[in-house]
Amino acid sequence: MVNTVKKLSPEKGNKLSIHSYEELAALHAISRILALPGELRDQLEKVLQEMSSRLGMQRGMISLLDREKKEAWLDVAHDVNIEGLDVTYKIGEGITGEVAQTGRPMAVANLGNATHFLDRTGARKHLNRSELAFLCVPIIYDEQVVGVLSADKVALEVENLDKELAMLSSVAELMAKSVHMRALEEENRRLKKIVGQNRTPSMEVIGHSKAMQEVFGLVAQVADSNTTVLITGETGTGKELIARAIHKNSPRNGGPLVQVNCAAIPDTLIESELFGHEKGAFTGALHTRRGRFEEANGGTIFLDEVGELSAAAQVKLLRVLQEKKFQPLGSSRVINVNVRIIAATNRNLEQDILADRFRADLFYRLNVFPIYLPPLRDRGSDVILLADHFVLKYSKEMSKNVKRISTAAIESFLSYKWPGNVRELENCVERAVLLTKTDTIDCVHLPPSLQIRESDFGKKERSKLSSVVEAQERALIIEALEETGGNQTKAAKMLGTTKRIIQYKISKMGINAKLFRKKK
């Protein structure tokens, strides 16, 4: 062959897709590997093994494309030790970079004569390159290059470079979706790694529990970046408040925060609602209207209940997430937007993906930085803090002088499971403030579901573990009171809690705090 480098257009590759029986058997084996459940990286490694054993394509490598950084990085390899290596190719750099840039396959008949072959892994350092041919093809998904597949082959075994490229292109076509998903996974991992941990956020959310402190830490990590956030948790846990906190603590806090309730938008209006429309675009479009994405330009858009979107709406949302631009209905204008996206759902989207109710590629786009909000039943004494907060809030709104919650009512709050979470607690306290005629909320002011008392049998059957925990808790409180001379504020600070909670515990356990004052 006269030319060292052979370039093949995608159209030509399709015409040369007639394979031998051995090649068809290899493609069948590869398709079976990709159809089985498992880790994407493991599947891709097995595909490279099949290429080596069945097709004689050695040192197979898969590089993933990062469009924002305009580079491809080596992710999976066979017969090449890449552990600890960070191998990247700028777009257009070397053969891999050129294939990533052009989207066209390339072949080198004799690696010994290829001056622009980089060999950044050093895998061919001790080999005779003149005995090797090099094959490199793009991996294309949804009409976009998402990665590059390459391999060596003994030059004497190569009868026709075009035919070899056609075979490798068929393998790339089979693995395209898996590579796309793998690229999204790796993008998520990299973004999480580089997000800062430098400051404590300003929060409107109330909580001293360990679970909520972890949430606050995640908010602090992600607020400064433009990273997409997915907030998950049961209904009523306060996902909107977390979204507001992220926006408020971000550089975008001077811009708008636009909230969209995805569950409330019919499929026929989703495109108009999100992206706007021109006058006359459809029946009833009497005026030009800006979409919610355009309204959020320079700020944040909060897509609440994103798991309720229909399949058609998911496709439209995915497109704007990928391209960051859109056309309003009935318009030829292309609008570019600079918007930070926060989504929230109470659904298990991973289960919805398995049931074909939610697109996996959209999930990976949204789930770059997940934040899980724990249910109220897992937040311990936060129930008391929140209840006190709501008492103050509704006392002020109703111009009533309600100052406290009785010990019996607090006990009911702590023993209740709160299926409606913080929203249910707020409604409960609002009702109680309205009903009480004194300065105290008591059990009689609570909904019937909270007034059900534990039976005598249930009390007798209380577990030994609960008794041990209560005894240990009592000992810690007494020790703190002794050390602080009965000062409940200092004792609360020492134990990492609040004076309100310490007062409740002292009352419940029958501890006489005055005894400790005498000792000081």
| 463 has a pLDDT exceeding 70 | no
> Do residues 32 and 104 both lie within one domain?
yes
Q: Quote the CA–CA distance of 214 and 421 in Å, as a whole number.
A: 18
CB 231 within 8 A of CB 371: yes
pLDDT digits (tens, 9 = 90+) for 92-101: 888 999 999 9
Residue with tokens 């998950």: 232
| 51 has a pLDDT exceeding 60 | yes
CATH no. for residue 382?
1.10.8.60
> Do residues 317 and 446 both lie within one domain?
no
- Whether residue 196 lies inside any domain: the answer is no
Highest mean pLDDT among 204-218, 364-378, 381-395, 400-414: 364-378
> Do residues 35 and 106 both lie within one domain?
yes
CATH no. for residue 483?
1.10.10.60
Residue range 361-365: mean pLDDT, rounded: 92
Nearest to 28 by CA among 55, 61, 63, 58: 55
Q: Quote the CA–CA distance of 183 and 191 in Å, as a whole number.
A: 12
CA dihedral (329, 68, 176, 117) positive or negative: positive
| 482 has a pLDDT exceeding 90 | no
> Do residues 269 and 412 both lie within one domain?
no
Q: How many CA atoms lie within 13 A of 246 on its CB side?
A: 33
pLDDT digits (tens, 9 = 90+) for 304-334: 999 998 887 788 788 878 877 777 777 777 8
Tokens encoding 152: 């060596």
Nearest to 201 by CA among 155, 251, 256: 251
Per-residue exposure over 411-441, b if at least 16 CB sit within 10 Å of its own CB, e if not: bbbeebebebbbebbbebbbebbeebeeeeb
- Whether residue 193 lies inside any domain: the answer is no
Nearest to 343 by CA among 261, 420, 248, 272: 261
Cα–Cα distance list, 40 to 43, 88, 181, 355 (Å): 5, 20, 8, 19
> Do residues 248 and 319 both lie within one domain?
yes
User: For residue 469, what pLDDT is reported?
Assistant: 61
Top-confidence residue, 351 or 37? 351
Calculate the average pLDDT of the chain: 83
- Whether residue 258 lies inside any domain: the answer is yes
> Do residues 510 and 430 both lie within one domain?
no
> Do residues 273 and 288 both lie within one domain?
yes
pLDDT digits (tens, 9 = 90+) for 222-273: 998 999 999 999 999 999 999 999 999 999 999 999 999 988 888 777 778 8
- Whether residue 307 lies inside any domain: the answer is yes
- Whether residue 51 lies inside any domain: the answer is yes
- Whether residue 325 lies inside any domain: the answer is yes
- Whether residue 202 lies inside any domain: the answer is no
> Do residues 30 and 102 both lie within one domain?
yes
> Do residues 36 and 73 both lie within one domain?
yes
Residue after which a domain boundary falls, among 356, 374, 392: 374
Number of domains in the chain: 4
| 3-class SS of residue 487 | coil
- Whether residue 297 lies inside any domain: the answer is yes
Rg (CA), the chain: 31
User: For residue 191, what pLDDT is reported?
Assistant: 53
Q: What is the pTM of this model?
A: 0.57
495 by Cβ neighbours in 10 Å (0-12 / 13-18 / 19+) ranks as middle
Other beta carbons less than 10 A from residue 122's beta carbon: 12
Domain containing 82: what range? Answer: 5-186
> Do residues 119 and 262 both lie within one domain?
no
CATH no. for residue 77?
3.30.450.40
Residue after which a domain boundary falls, among 453, 475, 509: 453
User: Among the residues of 82-130, which ranges form H helices?
Assistant: 94-102
> Do residues 309 and 218 both lie within one domain?
yes
Residue after which a domain boundary falls, among 395, 420, 453: 453
> What element of type H or E holds 146?
strand 144-154
> Do residues 337 and 240 both lie within one domain?
yes
Cα–Cα distance list, 444 to 154, 377, 448, 450, 452 (Å): 86, 22, 9, 10, 11
Tokens encoding 113: 């004569």
| 3-class SS of residue 485 | coil
Tokens encoding 321: 């997430």
